[in-house]
A and B are shown apart, each in its own frame.
Chain A
Amino acid sequence: MPKMFPGGVHPKDGKALSAGSEIKTAPLMDKYIVPLAMHIGAPAKLIVREGDKVLKGQVLAEANGFVSAPIHSPTSGTVISISKTSTTGEMLSVNNCIGPTGTLIPAITIESDGEDKACEPLPTIDWQNADAKTIIDRIRETGIVGMGGAAFPTSVKLSPPPEKNIDTLILNGAECEPYLTADHRLMLEEAEKIVQGAMITAKALGVEKIIIGIENNKPDAVKIMTEVAGDRAVVKSFPVMYPQGAEKQLIYACTKRRVPKGNLPMEAGCVVQNVGTMVAIYEAVVNGIPLFERITTITGSPVVEPGNWKLRVGTTLDKVLTLAKGVKKDVPVGKIILGGPMMGMAQYSLTVPIMKNASGVLLLAQNEVKQYESLPCIRCGRCVDVCPMGLMPATMSVQIEKEQFDLAENTNVMDCIECGCCSYACPSRRPLVQLYRHAKSEINAQRRKNSQK
């Protein structure tokens, strides 16, 4: 089968570790640290105070502004402390919370009272003949965000400007990131909910065509999804190639359309949603349950018992690892990663909580990860061949090392999707993705400064 998009790499699969184990629901924890900024956009606005009693699913913080999402309590209990952000210079409570990006983020600490009493769920919407607006309002109300890793508020994604003619909804079941099997297990066990969720989303978007893209290293998932979907959706199976699951590459694979450079997928008439988000939409619209749980893969060679778990938002990493029976004695841990090995973020403390977009907790042994010394670029061209966005990583990396960001800008560094293929393929072990993230933040800062002038 020919490659579905230019470039791409084949990292070691590593899915066998956790592909076999069903999704297990995590027991109730004693304490949850729920961050306020779990999505792209403005952090949520607090509406509870320390000492308040809350029920499971109760709103702790509302969305402030259009691009934002509310936060719901993962369990019933009392709010024991609220840490304000230190960046605004206010007082910071002792148990502040280190976010996945390593910076201190505001968080609410909830001590569960053990009863796990849920507040009464929202009324079921008969989505067949409800209009789009009620569905989208319900999605915004229940705080649903993209579960693939971006955590972009779904309600915003489902209400594009009217003049954009969207005709296809694409479900991202590719899960091209090695080691992660959350979506795979979800497709095997909740196929019906996914398809129903897709129908609801299609209704909200006013779209008929639904395509579900799955990589063919998950044949069982492809089989089940095709059976369950029937004629309601088209299931397409793609050859395994990272980053098949990236938005632009998936749209090109499914519809042979290319998203115009520097634009959003809606320019190509498509909206891409993760299969996990579909289940969340189904739960919200049909059962009225807000989003405070997600499927996360806990895997890696040091983990005693890798598996897929339904975790509540706010479970800290140390509790997550105790679920997986901790680490093997003889395998020292080199890295702890939130997300997959290609795009995940390395952590250095176990107090980081699981957020709405945590698709996996990956532990790598010390022999699998070394401290590399990066050598100068020998222009071998491997990164140019593998870049799925058709960029020139070699030229850009040399420009950014010399801090020539204007040069890097017109070598199109802003189109980099940080998929990591170039760093993966680079024989000089150069930290290319970090260089491009640095360049992009510098160029954005420069653009903000120019727009203010």
Chain B
Amino acid sequence: MSDAALTQGLHAAHHPRQMHHFDSMAQQKETATFGMWVFLVTEIMFFGGMFAAYMLYRMWYFPGFAAASSELDITLGGTNTVVLIGSSLTVAMAVHAAQLGKRNQTVWLLIATGVLGVVFLVIKYFEYKVKFAGHHLPDGGMIWLFPGREFQLGPFIYGGFDVSQSPELAPIASQVRIFMVIYFALTGMHALHMIIGIGILAVILRMAIRGEFSKEWHIPVEIFGLYWHFVDIVWIFLFPLLYLVHRHG
């Protein structure tokens, strides 16, 4: 690309990171961050479809949602909230360090972000494991994939009765089931975004270690920061919506 630019003789000496089709570093940076923002809007709508389902079924099936939500581990969920907001802080500080051109600080803050991200996923793994062991993962036709994993109602309490022990509470069971579906869909999709984020983070960390970023050019850190913050924001909504449906009484 730089060859073509040279032969065209269009570009005066410019920063080596400036791509051929931009006129200035400022334009390039504004373009990249704006692009990320537009992408995040699509992400809002992507989660929006699931939030729509959540809203409808919460309205219809509040008892089931209350029973199922109260079975989620609020300690683990709360810890994860703290962890994720903490990682938001570290990534914000990483961008800050990159803006100031402090390489070492950027590297360590990115590592901290990654560690917190992994901690979040590990905690999530243990939460999922409990649900899996309790057969709360709706599996439907995939019995062959999860032998003996038929959906069961673990100790979901509704109106003082254990739902799993009372056949007449079976209707609550389907409500619980729908909550669990939405829970796994939302948190699963969120966790997938975390995993992708950690993958991107690894690439950026490598670039940071190699000293590729500078005061003038640190676009990747910045747009990664935007992405990571967005994932954090999703969790900020997921936590009260999933874990805190009906904690009183």
Partners in one complex: no
